[in-house]
Amino acid sequence: MENRIYDENNGLCYAKQGDYYLPELALPPEKEKPIGFWGQRHLQYLKEHKQFIYLNLLTIGRLNEYLASVDEQAEDMFSRLVEEYADRQRVTERLKEENQLLWVKKMNNIRACVREVVEHEIIYL
């Protein structure tokens, strides 16, 4: 008997594994895009809490594209909000020149607040 057969009814190839013929399944090719910090966090969230969405995106070959998009949106939002919060709290380059420690303290606080907003609005949806 053959080690590989083709079923014209469903268009699948089957390979013999021991006594059984198993379908040869492969994921569709996906264009690789870099995924940053936010995309990785969203991926972890999908794997842990939204397995159905994760598996759907993976099987249709759109997971990488989706994560790259989420990463880009989150990074844009993060940058924009850090700038807005710094303007509102008057954290400027002048403050950085006059009192570096205070500037670092305020910027760290701003980044922590903005990180929570981005996580709530984009990452953990």
Q: What is the pLDDT of residues 62-73, one digit of tens each?
A: 999 999 999 999
Domain that holds residue 87: 31-123
Average pLDDT over residues 79-96: 96
In a shared domain, residues 106 and 56: yes
Together in a domain, 17 and 71? no
Give the phi and the psi of residue 27 in degrees, each rounded to 5. -75, 145
pLDDT band at 1 (very low <50, low <70, confident <90, very high): low
> Can you give the pLDDT at residue 112?
98
- pTM for this prediction: 0.77
Number of domains in the chain: 2
Read off the pLDDT of each residue in 76-83 and give the average, rounded to a whole number.
98
User: Is the pLDDT score of 53 beyond 80?
Assistant: yes
Q: Minimal CA–CA distance to 45: which of 124, 117, 122, 106? A: 124
The answer to whether residues 102 and 18 touch, using CB atoms and an 8 Å cutoff, is no
4 plus 53 within the same structural domain = no
